[in-house]
Amino acid sequence: MNRIDIIIALCRKKYKKKPTAQQILKVIYEYSLNSYTSDGKIRQKNAMIEAMREALNTLTPSEIHRK
C-alpha cells in the first residue's frame, strides 16, 4: 500500500465524503505523511515508513480496502 492510498483511506475515515484540499493537507500533517521536511529537504525513507505504519494501525481492514 502506498502513501497516497493511506491518505485517501484516512480522509474517508475522517470526513466520510470527498475531502477538500485543505482537509487532505490536514490529514497529511496530522499523521506526518508529508514527503518533504519543513526546510524543503526530502524526508528519509525510514521516517516515512514509520509514519505510514502508524497511520495504517489507525485503520481497520475494511477501511483500508474500500475503494
The pLDDT tens digits of the residues spanning 21-55 come to 999 999 999 999 999 988 999 999 999 999 999 99
Q: What does the DSSP 8-state code read for residue 6? A: H
pLDDT of 41 reads 94
Instruction: Please list the alpha-helical segments (H only) found in 1-67.
Output: 3-15, 21-30, 45-57, 61-65
pTM of the model: 0.85
